[in-house]
Amino acid sequence: MRALITAALRLLVREADRPAPLMRSRVAPLYHIVIVVLSAAIAVSLPLTFTFAARWLLVYWASIDNEKLFLVSVEVAVALLLILVLTQARTNWRNRVVSKSARAAGLIHYSARKGVLGQTRTRRLKEQQGFMRDVMIVGSTGFRTLVDPNGDLHTVIQNCRSAKIMLLNPESSGALERVRSIPGAEVTQESLRNQLGETIAFLGALRAAEKRLRLKLYPDPPVWKLAILGDYAWVQHYHPGRDVRAMPEYLFVHSQDPARLYTAFYQDFVTRWNDPAIAECDLLTGELVYRDDTGKEVRREALGATPHDSGVDGSGGTAAVRAERDGF
């Protein structure tokens, strides 16, 4: 048996010295030869192994046969081991079920957005996925995500092929409703306008440089912070009363399966984008452009001309510091 193993090892060494194409052609049969040799070696060693184990057990069993404490200790140890093994097996089974459900929904990544390393990894993933792709973005003011050099999509928006962006209209009742849901925040509506103004100026500079960018301002309270980068959709939830940056972020991937959630987010974006009630912002003039169902321009008006919600005083509630915290 030893001679057989030695011959197999020599054959392996000799084959390793051969040219790569020839070696690849011989890998499969050589692999089977090695497996057969190892199987034979294990089979031959089994009697010796069991004999050694039996002798060891007979030697020590006489001394532990009457040791009740030892037997009880072994019983407890075995019971604990079984509990741990079965608990781990049940946990693995549950995780497998959850993983299967996540794959069925198209979920491939989850991020708690805590820690510098996690945020850096997320930003790099977005940069890779959005490079020279068509991107679609929904957010709040866009300041921390788009304008801030450390923002997740600052590089993406500059390197993408085209971008459709929807941000919250700071003059709408939806913005004020979002503001009221944040308790204890000391903000002004002017700060919200200023942050959106900086975002429009940033996008306008890119648009003037022939970048294919379009911006619309929606009036409803924000629900999703969404970034569709080619075949990937990053999603966060605007939970009432909580900073969106404290919420987890989910990554969904596109596939031909209509049951996956990427399709739902994509269709929701397209439906809202094509809604004529949502005005488009001219990035070069800063005006709001309203169109009819056919896409024909109906009228233009200044951004601040949208009627205010009469239920809020001139201070504008708590909007802009909230925007600074919300990012985008």
pLDDT per residue as tens digits for the range 31-76 = 778 888 888 888 888 888 888 888 777 777 666 666 677 777 778 8
Residue 100 domain-assigned (yes or no): no
Structural domain count of the chain: 2
User: Are 18 and 53 members of one domain?
Assistant: yes
**What are the two backbone dihedrals, phi and then psi, of residue 283, each rounded to the nearest 5 degrees?**
-70, -15
**Lowest-confidence range among 178-182, 195-199, 206-210?**
178-182
Residue 104 domain-assigned (yes or no): no
User: Are 84 and 134 members of one domain?
Assistant: no
Which contiguous run of DSSP H or E holds residue 309? none
User: Are 85 and 127 members of one domain?
Assistant: no
d(CA 317, CA 166): 23
pLDDT for residue 120 is more than 70 = yes
User: Are 285 and 157 members of one domain?
Assistant: yes
Burial of 276 (0-12, 13-18, 19+ CB in 10 A): middle
pTM equals 0.68
Burial of 294 (0-12, 13-18, 19+ CB in 10 A): exposed
User: Are 130 and 247 members of one domain?
Assistant: yes
User: Are 75 and 186 members of one domain?
Assistant: no
d(CA 209, CA 25): 56
d(CA 138, CA 216): 10
User: Are 130 and 57 members of one domain?
Assistant: no
User: Are 256 and 189 members of one domain?
Assistant: yes
Our CA angle for 111, 222, 323, nearest 5°, is: 80
d(CA 279, CA 96): 46
* Residue 133: both structure tokens together: 């792709």
User: Are 243 and 137 members of one domain?
Assistant: yes
Residue 36 domain-assigned (yes or no): yes
Residue 244 domain-assigned (yes or no): yes
User: Are 183 and 160 members of one domain?
Assistant: yes
User: Are 167 and 50 members of one domain?
Assistant: no
Chain-wide mean pLDDT for the chain?
80
Helices 2-16 and 20-64, axial angle in degrees (round to 10): 150
State the residue range of the domain holding 221.
Answer: 109-326
User: Are 113 and 89 members of one domain?
Assistant: no
